[in-house]
């Protein structure tokens, strides 16, 4: 990657994060209520003017919107993500506790969903239009159609009624304390997330595989008498790797901020649950900084995927 490409990528990343910060700031302020009403509920209506002013100053919402935004942005640029108005904890410490849970959940879902999706995609594309292809596509469509909260709730109910196991009961066990206990809590929510993940990867794999299977170099390889398995793996699937890798990277980045429902169902103290509680409490510093961190990680994942392109396809390096 040349210096010009690096500068362009960094500049685009900064503009993206700036746009994310502006959007989340505006959307938060557009929500009904504020931190005072979220904290006190109906009791906020009996506050007198002096009490409301004191609370607005405490929560930092007594300043003009531009002053609030640039004050928060200056703090973030200096490395200070802010302090939660609800709990009094620093946002950095809250993210340090929640982010490993969500990252582990996303990694497990990717490890389960990506290989399954690629396998099913190749399985379907190897016999296009046949019953196997139709069956795999139907299963993928079903996996995309079932909402995560339905699948998660059904799984919890089945485990509880059939096996007497409650995956959302008890305190969360970090991976550093007990690998077996941690995986026992994480494998089921990861499996729920992996269903839609595998379905999306399967559809992309099937399309990319069929497109590459019609390429001239594949027909040449077949004409040379190469084994069908080698043609499928070395020539077709290998050259279909870029769109497959792209969708895996996008889905992994999505999981870092899209696990709210599953974390709620399985009582996991991850970023999604942290973000949901902060939104309900109008905890502006937590929401703004958490969304910004998620966006930064998503951009970083895309950069890593872009670099992997160059490993998979020499033509990308040349261009």
Residue 58 domain-assigned (yes or no): no
CATH of the domain at 203: 1.10.3720.10
- pTM, rounded to two decimals: 0.82
Residue 260 domain-assigned (yes or no): yes
Q: What is the pLDDT of residues 144-190, one digit of tens each?
A: 898 888 998 999 888 888 888 887 777 888 888 888 888 888 999 99
Residue 61 domain-assigned (yes or no): no
Residue 30 domain-assigned (yes or no): no
Contact 185, 167 (CB under 8 A): yes
pLDDT at 9 over 90: no
Residue 14 domain-assigned (yes or no): no
Contact 193, 262 (CB under 8 A): yes
Q: What is the pLDDT of residues 99-154, one digit of tens each?
A: 999 999 999 999 999 999 999 998 888 888 888 889 999 999 999 898 888 998 99
Smallest CA-to-CA distance from 240 within 208, 204, 203, 267 is with 208
Residue 48 domain-assigned (yes or no): no
Structural domain that includes position 250: 100-318
Residue 65 domain-assigned (yes or no): no
State the total domains in the chain.
1
Residue 53 domain-assigned (yes or no): no
């Amino acid at each position: 990657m040349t210096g010009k490409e690096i500068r362009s990528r960094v500049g685009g990343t900064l503009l993206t994060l700036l746009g994310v910060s502006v959007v989340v700031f505006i959307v938060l302020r557009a929500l009904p209520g504020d931190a005072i009403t979220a904290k006190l509920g109906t009791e906020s209506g009996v506050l007198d003017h002096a009490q409301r002013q004191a609370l607005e100053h405490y929560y930092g919402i007594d300043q003009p919107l531009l002053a609030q935004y640039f004050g928060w942005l200056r703090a973030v640029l200096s490395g200070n993500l802010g302090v939660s108005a609800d709990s009094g904890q620093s946002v950095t410490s809250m993210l340090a506790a929640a982010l490993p849970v969500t990252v582990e959940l996303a990694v497990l879902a990717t490890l389960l969903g990506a290989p399954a999706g690629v396998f099913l995609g190749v399985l379907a594309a190897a016999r296009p239009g046949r019953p196997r292809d139709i069956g795999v596509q139907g299963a993928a469509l079903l996996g995309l159609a079932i909402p995560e909260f339905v699948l998660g709730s059904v799984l919890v109910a089945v485990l509880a009624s059939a096996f007497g196991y409650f995956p959302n009961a008890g305190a969360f066990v970090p991976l550093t304390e007990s690998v077996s206990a941690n995986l026992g809590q994480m494998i089921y929510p990861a499996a729920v997330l992996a269903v839609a993940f595998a379905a999306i990867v399967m559809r992309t794999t099937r399309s990319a595989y069929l497109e590459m299977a019609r390429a001239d170099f594949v027909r040449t390889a077949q004409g040379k008498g190469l084994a069908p398995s080698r043609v499928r793996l070395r020539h077709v699937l290998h050259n279909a790797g870029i769109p497959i890798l792209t969708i895996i990277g996008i889905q992994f980045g999505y999981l870092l901020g899209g696990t709210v429902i599953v974390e709620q169902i399985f009582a996991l103290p991850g970023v999604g649950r942290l973000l949901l509680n902060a939104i309900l409490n109008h905890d502006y510093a937590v929401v703004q900084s958490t969304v910004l961190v998620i966006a930064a990680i998503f951009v970083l994942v895309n950069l890593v995927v872009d670099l992997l392109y160059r490993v998979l396809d020499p033509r990308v390096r040349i261009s």
